[in-house]
Amino acid sequence: MVALPGVDPSWSAYLDVPSSASADNPGTVRTWHYLDNAAALRESGTEVRGTLLCVHGNPTWSYLWRTLLPAGTKAGWRVVAVDQLNMGFSQRTGVLRRLADRVADLEDFAAAADLRGPLVTVGHDWGGVVSLGFAHRNRSRLAGVVLTNTAVHQSPTRPLPAPLRLALLPPVRRTGTQTTTAFLDITHALARPKLTPEVRDAFRAPYRTVASRKGIADFVADIPRDRSHPSFPALTEIAEGIRTLDVPSLLLWGPHDPVFTETYLEDLTCRLPHADVHRFEDAGHLVQEDADVAGTLFSWLQARDVAADSTGRTGAAPAVGTGPADDRAFSALETRLTEAAAADGSSLAVAEMDAGRVRRSLSWAGLEADIAAVAAGLARSGLGAGSRISLMVPPGVDLTVLIYACLRIGAVIVVADAGLGARGLSRAVRGSAPDAVIGIERALAAARIFGWPGRRISVEELDPARRRLLAVDTSLAELRTPAGAPADVRPPQPDADAAILFTSGSTGPAKGVVYTHRQLSAMRDAVAETFGIRPGGALVAGFAPFALLGPALGVASVTPDMDVTAPRTLTAAALADAVAAVDATAVFASPAALRNVLATETDLSADGRAALQRVGLLLSAGAPIPAPLLERVQALLPDAALHTPYGMTEALPVTDVDLPSIRAAAGDAAAGLPGAGNGVCVGTAVHGARVAVSPLGPDGAADGEPTTEAGVSGEILVDAPHVKDRYHRLWRTEADSARTAPWHRTGDVGHFDAAGRLWVEGRLGHIITAPGGVLTPVGVEHAIEEVDGVRLAAVVGVGPAGTQAVVGVLETDPPLRRKRPGLAEAGLAAGVRAAASAAGAELAAVLTVPALPVDIRHNSKLDRARIAAWAEQTLSGGRVRTP
């Protein structure tokens, strides 16, 4: 083999293997080519824990697994990656090899190569099926199974993916796969980002001639498209056989795959229910090329202790993040709702506002009855414990009913914010693979356009034509109509999954966060206890994540007249109307909503102003609120205790602080209390939660022992009964976030002051590692924002970790006259440099932009990753683009 990028020539080996495949005559010997790190392992002297047997698919070869070999040498794993016969640099046998032959071939190779000790099979594409066939038949030494974009089952009722149907058309098949290099080229073009010319050439190296490509054509021909295909029985045997595999299993997936779509991942998770799953959100079919498969695989082998003993039977290990069964007292999320329905049935439970009036409302008894009816309807239509139901319904009465109905039947609600945008939302829905999507017409249209999986249930009654067009199954009204036998609704287990909530995506693709019923109940208790919310009051639900908690708290809730997905649409008058309609004593609203309330304050009537004066509690979460803004809110709501809890989708909430504490903290910072300052003061841990920080090392990594020592900056850790159970199908992300048990790593950086208050400095990913030391941006940004002429500031690092240059990027006040980003004018730059220097940062450059990018959902979190990338590009020279 010639020298290829990423391959140590010493890995390449050939072996003559007696064949037992039925395709070959007895006594036939076949020559295999494979990559093997055995020599490197011997040289390093590392103790060998076991062997990974890696099987490529079509039309690749063992080159696909090259990153696993050095990683294996380091981790003490022998990695043997074969070229299947007729493929790669292995022998061209001249014989069509079907699935059963290929499984026999692999067994022949494993026997001849004398692979000792525990074995983990690793497969990709159709090689995944072959490796599973081997795993199924060789269980005594099997220690684990790893699969990447593959499939073992083709539903007889569903067509093959379109690209495969095309490839199988007889005229296309021979031309596309063998006569020309089209199939190779198309496969290589699936890499994200695209392959370098050198790597592409390496993938093509064994397939330069028409004759050498016969194996590619034969492989395609062996895809069992229906029951009549000769390989159908072998495939079925494997697909059913693996249901009893109990070894640790890992599914690594690139979702951007036109052939092995998420339907196949879903199928595999049903066959291997104990498997750990990690979806690399941006990766595609060639996931090995697109994502860190090697790093994830070896950290999984380590975490799962695969091959710890010679048998490797550790498959019963619990999934990361789920503890043993818990017998603590549990009160279901709906407990107070049912109590209120029984005790005080006729009083108001939920309401929706429209143009100053209550559009729709339900009493507690009415709410309970409606939930029961919808729950029964859902159960009748076949949904139940463990079903994933995506709710695409704006906050209001219907959403409230649906949430509690789904929870009652044990279904898992999937909630992704429309603020993610169409693409982000679509990624989130696909990744959660719902069994049903319940949505308003607009959402169902998106489901149709983007081809979201799952049955479709409409919230509105649609006319038959729309219904057909959107492929809608049933409607909420039909679910409510009692029909036939009463449904069998059993209460869910406390530790079963209850919800998948999606993060805002302000820090990369949105992540699904899984909560159990017990954790949702704990969230309710944390909110109730921390803010003293007792059953019987009323609240305005202007902030989506907490909106679902009203009935759980036993508190009447009203949705104001606004687009809750766009917080800026809440006006002062709409808020006052909602408060007046239910005599609300509490208001939940986001900072962006509050900004608009203040901006529209002058439109308030005297009655509206009076209603707002009766509010006793305001909760605002989602992003920090500057103290001056809070002071203005206080003037509008003079009797309200203003609380700005800090939290994230993974832990709602973590800490709480009110306006008097914010004032006291600012005073302490000015007076020089140790640790006070450099960030946003978010107060102290909420009821039931503990908070600590894991100190940062000089390289910016948070690997210190958890501490609450004043002035020590580190990654913020939280431990509470209402912290998420795990991330959905993000095994590695979950393992990283839970690596310091029992803490959840938030990815935020902060420190405590001597009074025990937590100060948030920014995201861990936004840490700047300047030569002078580690720096967090928020404190410096606040200092810069005090400079005349600065409206908003972002501080980012450019250049390599450890020696980054610190850069200030500003929105100016007044805004730039010509909307062109560039260097700040000299006087402004000097002022900003001086302010930053006083806050501990020496700026290399000061840039001005017309507008700083902020994330869509909160409309207030700086997208520092994007700003840093822009600054890096701008400061490397070349034309200045808009961030």
Which of 321-334 are b and which e, b meaning 16 or more Cβ less than 10 Å from the residue's Cβ? Answer: beeeeeeeeeebbb
Residue type present at position 101: D
Indicate the residue among 598 and 823 with the shorter CB distance to other proteins: 823
Closest approach of other proteins to the CB of residue 764, in Å: 20
We find the least distance from the C-beta atom of residue 427 to other proteins, in angstroms, to be: 32
CB of 509 to other proteins, least distance (A): 27
Give the residue among 674, 655, 787 at the shortest CA–CA distance from 722.
Answer: 655
Within 8 A by CB and 6+ apart from 81, the residues are: 34, 35, 36, 54, 55, 56, 62, 64, 65, 66, 68, 69
Q: Of 345 and 799, which CB lies nearer to other proteins in the complex structure? A: 799
- Burial class of residue 442 (count of CB atoms within 10 Å of its CB; 0-12, 13-18, 19+): exposed
Q: Cβ distance 40 to 73 under 8 Å? A: yes
Cβ neighbours of residue 848 closer than 8 Å, sequence gap 6 or more: 809, 810, 811, 812, 816, 821, 822, 823, 824, 825, 828
Question: CB of residue 194 vs other proteins: minimum separation in angstroms?
Answer: 21
In angstroms, what is the minimal distance from the CB of 807 to other proteins?
8
For residue 827, the minimal CB distance to other proteins (Å) is 11
CA separation (Å) from 340 to 346, 528, 875?
9, 16, 62
Closer residue to other proteins in complex, CB, 361/874: 874
* 3-state SS assignment for residue 350: strand
Q: Which is nearer to other proteins, 701 or 845 (CB)?
A: 845
Q: Are strands 768-770 and 773-775 parallel, antiparallel or unpaired?
A: antiparallel
- Strand order of the sheet with strand 538-542? 357-363, 348-354, 556-559, 538-542, 586-589, 617-619, 641-643
Is the Cβ of residue 310 or residue 803 nearer to other proteins in the bound state?
803
Q: Which of residues 267 and 872 has its CB atom nearest to other proteins in the complex?
A: 872
Closest CB to other proteins among residues 527, 847 = 847
Alpha carbons 383 and 410: distance in angstroms, whole number: 9
3-class state of residue 171 by DSSP = helix
Indicate the residue among 96 and 844 with the shorter CB distance to other proteins: 844
CB of 878 to other proteins, least distance (A): 6
Q: Which long-range contacts (CB under 8 A, 24 or more apart) does 184-187 make?
A: 184/59, 184/213, 184/216, 187/59, 187/60, 187/285, 187/286
CB of 865 to other proteins, least distance (A): 17
By beta-carbon proximity to other proteins, the closer residue of 382 and 827 is 827
Q: Is-contact 507 763, C-beta < 8 A?
A: yes
Q: Compute φ and ψ for 331, nearest 5 degrees.
A: -120, 120
Return the number of the residue (164 or 823) whose C-beta is nearest other proteins.
Answer: 823
Nearer to other proteins, 303 or 880 (CB): 880
The whole-angstrom separation of Cα 547 and Cα 399 is 10
The Cα 85–Cα 98 span in angstroms is: 11
- Residue the block writes with tokens 């509105």: 460
How far does Cα 542 stand from its chain's mean position? 25
Distance CA 17, CA 22 (A): 15
- What φ, ψ does residue 29 adopt, rounded to 5°? -120, 130
Which residue ranges make up the site for other proteins (CB under 8 A)? 771, 798-800, 802-805, 822-823, 826, 829, 842, 844-845, 847, 872, 874-880
Q: Give least dist CB 3 to other proteins, A.
A: 22
CB of 876 to other proteins, least distance (A): 4
Q: Closer to other proteins at the Cβ: 462 or 880? A: 880
Burial 210-233 (b: 16+ CB within 10 A, else e): eebbbbbbbbbbbbbeeeebebbe
Q: How far is the CB of 840 from other proteins (least distance, A)?
A: 16
Least distance in Å: CB of 295 to other proteins? 24
Cβ atoms 235, 264 nearer than 8 A: no
Q: Which is nearer to other proteins, 85 or 843 (CB)?
A: 843
Nearer to other proteins, 21 or 787 (CB): 787
SS3 labels along 542-566:
ECHHHHCHHHHHCCEEEECCCCCCC
- Residue 774 in tokens: 């580690």
The amino acid sitting at 328 is R
Cβ of residue 798: shortest distance to other proteins, in angstroms? Answer: 7
State the nearest-atom distance from the C-beta of 830 to other proteins, in Å: 9
